[in-house]
Each structure stands twice: as C-alpha cells, then as structure tokens.
C-alpha cells in the first residue's frame, strides 16, 4: 500500500525509516521508561535536523535521555554543564601553545560532537549562550579567524530548570527560536516509577547498558529520506494559517516567525516518516503545534504570570484554524 520512494539522495523508503527509528526508540526505552511519545518527538526532531530544548525539573532523566540517544544512534556525545563563569572558549575550544613542537595546536571544545547536551543552558552568560546558539544555526565555529565545520549530524539537546531563576540568564526569544521545539518530559506515573525501580534492582547497577543500533551515515540517510516526504499545498497553507493566527491573536504580543512554519513543516514530515507514510497529514502538523510554537510566542504582559497561558493560546489557534478536508 505504501509507495516506495527511491530518490537520488536516499535509498531508504519511509517504511525503512520507520523501522530504524522504532529500533532506536526501543533501545532508548530500555533506559527511559514510559515516555514513548516524548522519545518519538525527539526522534522526529533528530530526523528534522533540529535542536531540542528540554524544560523540566531535576531528576527526570534529561541527561540520561540525551546519553541514551547518543549510544543508540552510535554517535559521539558530549555534555556541557553551563555555569555563569563558563566562557565561549570553554565550549568552542581554542589554540593552545605546544612547547614540544613550538606551535599553536587546535584543541576542540565539547561542541565538536554529534550530540551535545547543554545542561542548564540558562545558567551561562549571554556571551556563552550566543556562542552555542551561533554554532546551532551555522553548524560551524570560528576560532582565531578560522572557520571550522562541526561534525554532522550535530544535535543540541539543551535543558533548563523551570523553577529556579536565581542566578540565571533567560534565553532571549531570538535564541529560543533556534530550537525546533521545546519539550517537557514530565513525571512518570506510579506504575512507571515502580518499573524503573524493578529494572534497577534486576540489573544491579546504575548504568544502563544500551546497544548501538544506528550510525551517523545511516542517520543522514534517514534524514535524506525524510526530505522525500510529500506535502500537499493545502497542508502548507494550514501550517501558514496556524502560524499567522499566532501573530493575529491579541493575547500574543509577538507571534511565531517563519522559522516556526519551517519547524512545523520539517517536524510534520519527520513524523510522517516515523509512521511509515509517504505524505503528511494534518495530524502530523497538529502533533507539533504545541512543542514547536509555544516557545516562539511572546505573550502580553498581563499573561506572563498566568499558568499555561501560552499553551491555552496555542490550543485556541488549533481549535479555530480550519483543517483542510473537503467542503461540505
């Protein structure tokens, strides 16, 4: 039933992308229990060549999640703990003088990895945040006038704590816009938490042994296959209407940017591929409207202290924007 896609760029079809993705998610699920939907969303972001901002409380497995994805994908993982005294050079690297050779040698910083976990990104100074966010956008780092390309795939999983604001530097909206989506992992249910305990008891150690089920080349092929997913013109109009509605909503001082539209398009295509489809459905778009748009909205000041205000605004957009179906 599903049409096999054969393109010049990719030898994979959407069903194969779905199968590979399912294996990766199944592997990560050995470590992260009961969060299949979040894992699928992060997988979609990885396929869509995007970076993810995880905003959640401490102890919910954000670091474990990033590490598990890196192991399952078979790509290099680095972690940066952001602090106020962290300098741009600490994450990008720099030239160090080697006394033995008498020359300056490049020492690459932790940014030179495939998956970078930027832990508590809002604790770093704006200068350091900018260095990271520039790398996220340009996929390159400039050191001493020399431009160095970052390895591909390059994925940043950043985390921030939603409750502690003391000594933090909140990310400006322009920088938040660089993240393809903002997610929250959330607490596990009682049954899921009990399952976490049971598994820990059975394996007799803290470390979860995961297997590599993918590699960088395969991941790039999967990304190329996602580029072949068909998007109907009406679906594009639907995406544009959603984003335009965010700009027209009186509760939003600033709506989502065209980068938001692009994020929705890319994520919807990735989600279709994860489902083994060759075309995008309105449901694929709806799945990502909240995570892809919430952090791009600047609400009116009277809503800043209101709980879930951005969520409500986006839900209202979804309800009032007509889905392209058929005219009665």
Partner 1 sequence: MFSKLVDRFLPQRGAILLAVALVSALLLLLAAALPGASFKAGVSLPPDLFQRRLQGPPPPLIISPYFWDILMAIFWISLLLSIGYILLSPEGRKSLPYLLKRIATQLLWILFLFLFLQIMLLFSSEPPADEVGEPARPQELFSTGPALEDQLEELAYAAEPPAALSAILTTLFALGLTTLAYLGWRRYRAQRAQPFASLDELSRQAQAAIDELRRGQQVDDVILRCYREMARTVAAQRGVQRGRGVTPREFERELQRRGMPPRAVERLTRLFEQVRYGNYAPRRRDQMEAVDSLQAIVNACEQLRMERRQQA
For partner 1, the binding residues (CB under 8 A) are 3, 230, 232, 234-235, 245, 248, 277-283, 286, 318-328
| Among candidate residues 273, 256, 261, the one with its CA nearest the CA of residue 235 | 261
Closest distance to partner 1 from the beta carbon of 270 (Å): 16
**258 and 302 in contact (C-beta within 8 Å)?**
no
Beta bridge partners of 107: 94
Closest distance to partner 1 from the beta carbon of 269 (Å): 12
- Give me the DSSP letters along 141-158: EEETTEEEEPPSS-EEEE
Closest distance to partner 1 from the beta carbon of 154 (Å): 32
Q: Are strands 298-299 and 93-98 parallel, antiparallel or unpaired?
A: unpaired
Closest distance to partner 1 from the beta carbon of 1 (Å): 8
Q: Which is nearer to partner 1, 241 or 303 (CB)?
A: 241
**48 and 21 in contact (C-beta within 8 Å)?**
no
Q: Which is nearer to partner 1, 206 or 327 (CB)?
A: 327
| Alpha-carbon gap, residue 256 to 105, rounded angstroms | 43
- SS3 per-residue string spanning 65-95: HHHHHHHHHCCCEEEEECCCCCCHHHHHEEE
Q: Which is nearer to partner 1, 101 or 319 (CB)?
A: 319
108: which residues sit within 8 A by CB, 6+ positions away?
A: 93, 148
Closest distance to partner 1 from the beta carbon of 281 (Å): 6
Closest distance to partner 1 from the beta carbon of 234 (Å): 8
Q: Which is nearer to partner 1, 32 or 314 (CB)?
A: 314
| Among candidate residues 171, 156, 74, the one with its CA nearest the CA of residue 125 | 171
Closest distance to partner 1 from the beta carbon of 13 (Å): 14
Q: Crossing angle for the helix pair 233-248 and 309-320, nearest 10 degrees?
A: 130
**155 and 270 in contact (C-beta within 8 Å)?**
no
Q: Which is nearer to partner 1, 14 or 122 (CB)?
A: 14
Q: Which is nearer to partner 1, 152 or 286 (CB)?
A: 286
201: which residues sit within 8 A by CB, 6+ positions away?
A: none
| Alpha-carbon gap, residue 207 to 249, rounded angstroms | 47
Q: Which is nearer to partner 1, 68 or 261 (CB)?
A: 261
Alpha helices, H only, 177-308: 190-203, 216-226, 233-248, 258-274, 282-293
Q: Which is nearer to partner 1, 219 or 229 (CB)?
A: 229
Closest distance to partner 1 from the beta carbon of 90 (Å): 47
């Amino acid at each position: 039933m599903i049409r096999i896609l054969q393109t010049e760029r990719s030898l994979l079809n959407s069903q194969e992308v779905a199968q590979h993705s399912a294996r990766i998610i199944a592997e990560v699920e050995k470590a992260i229990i009961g969060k299949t939907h979040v894992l699928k969303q992060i997988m979609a972001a990885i396929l869509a060549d995007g970076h993810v901002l995880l905003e959640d409380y401490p102890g919910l497995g954000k670091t474990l999640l990033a590490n598990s994805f890196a192991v399952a994908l078979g790509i290099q993982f680095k972690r940066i703990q952001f602090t106020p005294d962290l300098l741009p050079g600490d994450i990008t690297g720099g030239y160090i003088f080697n006394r033995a050779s008498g020359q300056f040698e490049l020492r690459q910083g932790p940014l030179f990895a495939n998956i970078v976990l930027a832990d508590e990104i809002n604790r770093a100074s704006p200068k350091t945040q900018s260095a990271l966010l520039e790398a996220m956008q340009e996929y390159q780092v400039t050191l001493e006038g020399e431009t160095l390309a970052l390895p591909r795939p390059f994925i940043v999983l950043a985390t921030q704590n939603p409750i502690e604001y003391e000594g933090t530097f909140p990310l400006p909206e322009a920088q938040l816009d660089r993240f393809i989506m903002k997610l929250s992992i959330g607490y596990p249910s009682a049954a899921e938490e009990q399952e976490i305990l049971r598994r820990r008891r059975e394996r007799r150690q803290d470390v979860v042994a995961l297997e590599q089920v993918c590699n960088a080349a395969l991941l790039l092929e999967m990304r190329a296959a996602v580029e072949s997913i068909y998007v109907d013109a009406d679906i594009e109009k639907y995406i544009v209407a959603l984003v335009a509605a965010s700009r027209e909503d009186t509760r939003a001082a600033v709506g989502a940017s065209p980068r938001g539209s692009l994020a929705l398009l890319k994520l919807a295509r990735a989600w279709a591929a994860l489902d083994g489809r060759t075309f995008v459905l309105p449901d694929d778009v709806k799945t990502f409207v909240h995570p892809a748009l919430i952090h791009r909205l600047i609400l009116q000041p009277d809503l800043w202290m209101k709980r879930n205000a951005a969520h409500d605004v986006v839900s209202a957009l979804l309800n009032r924007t007509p889905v392209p179906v058929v005219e009665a």
